[in-house]
Every structure is written in structure tokens, then in C-alpha cells.
Amino acid sequence: MAIEFSKEETVIGRTLSDLEKYGSEGTGYLGKVVISKGERPVLGRRIRIDLARPHVILICGKRGYGKSYTMAVLIEEFARLPIALQNRISVIVIDTVGIFWSLKIPNKFNTSLLEEWGLKPQSTNARVLVPKGTLSFYQEKGIPVDASFTIKASELTGVEWMALFRLTWKDPEGVLITRIIEELKEKMGTYFGIDEIIKAVEVDKEADSVTKQALINRLRAAKTWGLIEKTGTRIRDIARPATINIIDVSAYRQAIGMEGIREIIVALLGKKLFEERMLYRKEEEANLIKGERRVSEMPLVWMFIDEAHMFMPKDRESIALQVLLEWARVGRQPGLSLVLATQRPEKLHPDFLSQCDLFISHRLTAGPDIEAVGILKPSYLYQDLAKYYEDMPRGKGYALVLDDNSEKLWLIKVRPRFSWDAGVTATAFTV
Ligand SMILES: Nc1ncnc2c1ncn2[C@@H]1O[C@H](COP(=O)(O)OP(=O)(O)OP(=O)(O)O)[C@@H](O)[C@H]1O
Ligand SMILES: [Mg+2]
């Protein structure tokens, strides 16, 4: 049972004891409850969503019904939390499409809709980070970039190099890169870049020259991505507290053979953040025991991933998959939240579905997708999930919300964005 502490609003994603203790503090304004039938239904009380505790949230729905939009609404709410809470949280958005930078720009295009809701256009303070070698791509498109980042070469394991190049143990280059990386780490520690790896391959005595040349070609190509360097960006400079950090990897979207790069970025970020949070969680608990406040330098992290099926597919190996599953399974303890959006829940690894505690679904019509989300089968539904989808208004921004914390289902309309939606009119900005 959810308790309703106010007639005006309801909080989802929060347990009864947290509701009693904190009320609606540390929540974000997500939308309003739909209280009548039809295509332009009456909207009722405001729905707020818990942002203070870790969650695993899945947003799904058909193409163009509002997944990315809903993500942006959630992200906007982090920037509007009380500053003390903001300081404890870092938001990381993995942007594969290149649409979230426009959070910085107030929504001047749809002011009438905002007015209807009693809201005003506003910008959201976000920091756009791009891989160092892709800066010119963003400059040409007029996308405002705040900083660039690189990955430290020695942080990649042999297996990760293989994943980056889409190699397996059956490929001689795969075997070679793993051995070379091991040898380099022994000889040089953590201070080497792609040039040193190429040199090590060149002087290798065991591999044949065709394999060596093939690997060197791949390494040279990797150099042109401008992502992997001797010294990388520190994870704490990426996951800054009180900041919305948008990791825009859309420059790698079109290029064939570059799928591995996005996966490596997510896998390494996810891995490092997990390790750091585990360490700091201990420090925070120790502080609490000493009677001090539960704080440390490393904030809680919320990672947003749009088009998540790219990283967590059920039918193919992905180096990011294991890391993200770990986040979903045990991330709540160290304070790691995941918000994933996908058009095709059916294509997502099923373990992820079973771990999510908040499920926000825009319109779905494909049978396999509805079946896939049927795995959630909460006991608090009184009819088939498919039936709820049939009854949903056809417009954009409507969503079914399943909340395991309060064990309730809601039909809501997501509020309009404060910021400009680059998803619709991205071309208008290049002039
Ligand atoms: N809550 C909402 N209020 C008003 N308009 C909305 C809302 N949600 C979505 N829209 C409209 O629908 C459009 C498409 O939404 P969005 O880009 O989020 O779709 P999507 O589900 O991410 O699609 P895709 O699968 O193609 O990525 C938006 O550009 C916006 O115009
Ligand atoms: Mg989208």
C-alpha cells in the first residue's frame, strides 16, 4: 500500500518507512495520474518519483512514444533537488544518439504545453563530455561541449581489447593482443599507450607476420578514435557530484566496426564506478559508526542509458552486459542506480527485467515485447498486462508505471520538458 501524504501528489519508488520519514523530499516531478478514459483524458494528482535511493528503472515503449523524453524529464529533476542532496549524487547519461546536450537549452518551442501544466521553460545545468578525438565532429554540428575524456590504455584488459576489436579466442590477433598486454603490464606497469603496444607487437618473436600486421592495423585505427591514451581521465572527474554528466558517444554512431567502442566506454565506466563506490561505501559506513554524517568524496551514481538493448542484448556477447548486470543485481548496496530505455524489451537480457523495481512503459503493441515484460507479473495487477496496454491513450507521453516499492500500478502522463527536445528538431540547430 502506498500512503498518500497529500491529496495533491503521490510518491512512487519509495517505501512506506521512507515516506513517513522523508515525505516528498528528494523526489522529482514525473507527471500526473490519468483519471478518465479516452484520448484526452482528465489528469489528476502529481506523481513524484524517488531519487534519493538507488533504483533500477526500465523505460520502454514503441518508437516515438516518449522514452527519451521521459528520460530527459527525470534528468531535469536531478538538477532541481535541494543542493545538499545534489551534492551526494552524480548523474551520468550515456548518449548514443546525441540528443541530451539540449537539456542546456530552455524549451522555447513548446511554451503553450508548459503553460497548460503551469510550468515555465528552463535550462538544466548539464556538462557534455565527448571522447577527445571526436571534438571536431561536435564542433561542426554546433553541439556545445564542455570537456573531453580519454580512457587509460592500461585499464583495458586483454579481453577488453578483444571486445573492442570484436575478436575472439579463435582469432590469432585475439590471442596475440592478450599476450602482448600481459607482457606490457609486467614490463611497464600502467604507463603505456597504443604506440607502445604497436612497438611490442612489432618486435614480438612468436607471432607470424600476417597476424602481427593485422593487429597493428587495428591498433593504428584505434589511435585515430582519440579515445585511448597513456593517461586517462580520472573517474572522479567524470562522475562529478551535483552534476549531470552527458557522455555523448554519438560520433561513433555511423561508423561501421565502431560498435565495440561504445560498449568499452560503458563497460569501463561501469566497472570503475562500481569499484570506487564499493570502496567509498565502506568509508561512509565507517563515518556513520563514528557518529559522523554518511558522506564521502564519491557520490552515489545514477547511470542513464538510452537505446539500452545496444549494451545489454540477450542474444550476443557484449562486454558491457556483465558490468551492467552487476549494477542491476547488486548495485543498490553501493549506491548505483540504472535507468535504461529501450524500444524492444524483448531484446533486452531477461535478468535485467527481473531486477527492475520501477517499470515505466509507454505504448507497446508487439506481442513478443508485451510477453517479455509479462515476466514482471506483479501480484498487485488485477488483469492481464496486455489489457492495460489496450486501454492506454494513444497519445505521446502516456505511460504505465509499475512500482514494486509501493506495489501499485499507475497510468500517468509524463510532464512536458523544461528544456528543448533535440530529438525532434536536431537539424534546426546546425544553421
Ligand atoms: N510527455 C510528453 N509530453 C509531450 N510530448 C511528448 C511527451 N513524450 C514524448 N513527446 C513527443 O513525442 C516525441 C517523441 O518522443 P521520444 O523522442 O522520447 O520518443 P522515443 O520513444 O525515444 O522514440 P525512439 O524509439 O525513436 O527513440 C517527442 O519529440 C515529443 O514531441
Ligand atoms: Mg529515443
Ligand 1 atom index nearest CA of 61:
21
Provide the 10 A C-beta neighbour count for residue 291. 6
The amino acid that residue 202 corresponds to is: E
CA contacts within 13 A on the Cβ side of 376: 30
pTM over 0.85: yes
For residue 255, what is its C-alpha cell?
561508423
Provide the 10 A C-beta neighbour count for residue 71. 23
421 lines ligand 1 (CB under 6 A): yes
Backbone angles phi, psi at 128, to 5 degrees: -95, 120
In sequence order, the 6+-apart residues with CB closer than 8 A to the CB of 268 are 151, 155, 156, 160
Looking up cell 580519454, which residue turns up? 150
First to last CA, the chain: 52
Q: What is the CA radius of gyration of the chain?
A: 23
pLDDT in tens, 402-422: 999 888 899 999 999 999 988
CB 339 within 8 A of CB 302: yes
Among all ligands shown, which has an atom nearest to the Cα of 69?
1
68 lines ligand 1 (CB under 6 A): yes
CB 410 within 8 A of CB 400: yes
In sequence order, the 6+-apart residues with CB closer than 8 A to the CB of 84 are none
64 lines ligand 1 (CB under 6 A): yes
C-alpha span between 338 and 54 (Å, rounded): 8
For residue 7, what is its C-alpha cell?
491529496
Pocket test for ligand 1, best of 46, 60, 68 (most atoms within 8 A of CB): 68
> Which domains, and CATH codes, for the chain?
9-147+239-430 (3.40.50.300), 154-228 (no CATH)
CB 303 within 8 A of CB 327: yes
From ligand 1's centre to the CA of 65, what distance in Å? 5
121 lines ligand 1 (CB under 6 A): no
C-alpha span between 286 and 295 (Å, rounded): 10
pLDDT in tens, 366-413: 888 888 887 777 777 777 788 888 889 999 999 999 999 888 899 999
- The residue whose CA is least distant from atom 18 of ligand 1 is 66
69 lines ligand 1 (CB under 6 A): yes
- The residue whose CA is least distant from atom 9 of ligand 1 is 66
3-state secondary structure 314-353: CCCCCHHHHHHHHHHHHCCCCCEEEEEEECCHHHECHHHH
From ligand 2's centre to the CA of 173, what distance in Å? 37
From ligand 2's centre to the CA of 285, what distance in Å? 38
96 lines ligand 1 (CB under 6 A): no
Give exposure, 93-105, as e/b (b: 16+ Cβ within 10 Å): bbbbebbbbbbbb
295 lines ligand 1 (CB under 6 A): no
Taking only the tens of pLDDT, the chain with its 431 residues reads: 444 455 689 999 999 899 999 999 999 999 999 998 888 899 999 999 999 999 999 999 999 999 999 999 999 999 999 999 999 999 999 999 999 999 999 998 878 999 999 999 999 999 999 999 999 999 998 899 999 999 999 999 999 999 889 899 999 999 999 999 999 999 999 999 999 999 999 999 999 999 999 999 999 999 988 999 999 998 889 999 999 999 999 998 766 667 788 988 999 999 999 998 888 877 777 777 877 776 667 899 999 999 998 888 888 888 899 999 999 999 998 999 999 999 988 888 888 888 999 999 999 888 888 888 877 777 777 777 888 888 899 999 999 999 998 888 999 999 999 999 887 744 444 43
43 lines ligand 1 (CB under 6 A): no
For residue 338, what is its C-alpha cell?
540504472
